[in-house]
Each structure stands twice: as structure tokens, then as C-alpha cells.
Amino acid sequence: MINICLIGTGRAGLIHGRNMAAKVSGGKLIALCDPSEEALQKAKEELAVEYVYTDYKQAVENPDIDAVVVVTPTVYHKEIVIAAAQAKKHILCEKPLAMNEQECLEMIAAAQEHQVKLQVGFMRRFDESFQEAKKIVDSGQIGDVVLIKSLTHGPSEPKPWMYDISKSSGPIGEVNSHDFDTLRWFAGSEVASIYAIGGNFRSPEVRQEYPDYYDTVSLNLQFSDGKLGAVDGAQYVQYGYDARVEILGTNGSVLIGDQSKHKVVVAKKNGEIVRPAMHSWTYLFQEAYVREDQAFVDCIINDTEPLVTGYDGMMAVKLVHAGLTSLLEKRIVQLM
């Protein structure tokens, strides 16, 4: 049995906590850690554990803990992951892996040096539809991959700090790291150049104070082997949560994603046909998170390489940085 400590018991943390507590075989949630008494209290009420910490440094010293799931704000990922690696704990770290490429390199080196697993939270790779599409693409059914398009739109109004893109990176940082990982996974190669354009279309009232803030972005990418990529990202779209992918090959295409919450369609006498929209990533990727957590425990038990590695996490961070640079400097950024 792999004994797990959840570090960060907020919004995404509780998803992993619930999975590790009840849905993952071979793993057991035994500890919670969060400096916020309020968050900890809420988590404790729901998840029965043996140990509770407010300081991750104490948590990683507990010899009963085999692995940690790091779900704190991104700015703390590096110090926690390195402390966990030094204490010989296996690590599942939420995306984005860290604030910049240098931090990622240090985290990867620490995991290698202390011989622990480091998996990064790109749960879309564990989604059944994404995995099925990957099998189809790899089998050659659509010929050679030519163009991969991926979009993510989030419904929520930005929190006030998000208007300052030196703090949030805007949609490229908040949502598109998932799309970058999807593109790299389906292309099987690395991005050579990226170009971004964007604008603030939904929050005109902050244009003067935050001229660099954008809520919508469109990115064109080219891979080192010539394949093409297109990503778009948006915040505060209000209609729901939207994540869709199209892979165009020389002989066909594969589509992933649907904007509907479920398959029910209501036709009304006024001629309207209504289908509820997907409202949240937590619902859309519910099963993918379980499979991601199960895969993490399995890779520890079977001593195999995680499906999503620290390197994958670092490459997405690198693309976020390149995309933002392109947007702000209005130029194509060459990565190789």
C-alpha cells in the first residue's frame, strides 16, 4: 500500500484527496497538509486521515508517508517538490510544474538524484477520449499528422490579481498549458516556433489600468518536424467550460470533445432545442483525475516511468513563456 499525503487542500487538492481516499487501489490517503486552518478543517471533515500538518517540511519528515500530491499555488511547487524528493517521497505535482524552466530543471534533477517518481498533472492524457484518439492517431488510421488544434475556454470572471499578467500570465498560463501538452503528445515532436495574438474583449473597464491584460489568445505553432499547431485560450467566456481538439492527418481527422454536459437534448414547443453546456473542468475530467491518480500509484508499485514526466511539465512551462513573450513583443518566438 502506498501511503499518501495531500499537500494543498484547496479546489483541485480535494479532487485528488477524494480519489486517493476512496477510488484508487494500492494507495491510501493518510495525511493532509495546508497552512490555512480553514482549508484544512474543511478537508479533515470530509477525509479521514491519521496525520494533519500546517507545514509541508514536517509532513515530508513522516516515515509513514511514501508519496505526496502537490496541489498548492504554483509559486510553491518548486520548494515543496524538492523537499519531498530529498525526503525520498514520490511526487505527483499539479500543472504548471513551476514558474519557469530553471525551477523545473531543479525539480527534475532532485527527483532523479533521490530516485523518486515525478509525475505532472496533465490529466487530459488519462481521459478515455484522449487515449482513444491517441491510439487511432498512432495506428496510422488518419495518415501522417499534419495539424493539431486545441482550445480551452474557461467560464469564470478573472480574480482581480489575474488582470496583472506578470502575476497570472493570463489564459496562456491559466489554461493553455494543457493544450501545449496535448499538442506535444499528439505530434510526438517539439515546438520550434510560436506566434501569439490576443486581446481584452470582455473586461473593457480594466483596459486603462492593465493594458497588457488579455482574455482571449490565438497561437500558431510549428514543430521541428514541420507539423503545424493551433491553440486558442479564453477566460470568462461565461457559457461554460470548453475543451476540444482536432487532429488533421493526410487521410482523415480525429475530433475530441463536446460542449454538452450530457447527452440529453430537450426539444420545446417554441421550436427551441436545448442541451445543457459543460460547466466545469472538475466534471468534464472527473474520471481522468481518478485514472491519473491511479496511474501515479501504479507507477510507484510497478517501478515504471510516469506517463507524464517532469520533462513534459517543463516543456509546457517553456511554451507558456514563449507564447507570452510572442504576445507581448508581437513577434514570432523561435525555440530551436
Ligand X SMILES: NC(=O)c1ccc[n+]([C@@H]2O[C@H](COP(=O)([O-])OP(=O)(O)OC[C@H]3O[C@@H](n4cnc5c(N)ncnc54)[C@H](O)[C@@H]3O)[C@@H](O)[C@H]2O)c1
Q: Using CB under 6 A as the criterion, which residues of the chain lie in contact with ligand X when the complex forms?
A: 7-13, 33-36, 39, 56, 71-74, 76, 94-95, 121, 123, 281
Cα three-residue angle 159-162-168, rounded to 5 degrees: 135
Residue 260: helix, strand or coil by DSSP?
strand
Shortest distance in whole angstroms from residue 4 CB to ligand X: 14
DSSP conformational letter for 276:
P
Which residue's CB atom is positioned nearest to ligand X?
Answer: 10
Shortest distance in whole angstroms from residue 77 CB to ligand X: 6
Q: How far apart are CA 111 and CA 81, in angstroms?
A: 8
Exposure string for 170-184, b = 16+ CB within 10 A, e = fewer: bbbbbbbbbbbbbbb
- CB distance 196 to 169 below 8 Å: no
Pick between residue 56 and residue 296 the one whose CB is nearest to ligand X: 56
Pick between residue 36 and residue 251 the one whose CB is nearest to ligand X: 36
Place of cell 495525511: 31
Shortest distance in whole angstroms from residue 37 CB to ligand X: 9
Pick between residue 90 and residue 125 the one whose CB is nearest to ligand X: 125
Pick between residue 145 and residue 162 the one whose CB is nearest to ligand X: 162
Exposure string for 128-142, b = 16+ CB within 10 A, e = fewer: eebeebbeebeeeeb
Shortest distance in whole angstroms from residue 183 CB to ligand X: 16
Pick between residue 72 and residue 326 the one whose CB is nearest to ligand X: 72
Shortest distance in whole angstroms from residue 210 CB to ligand X: 21
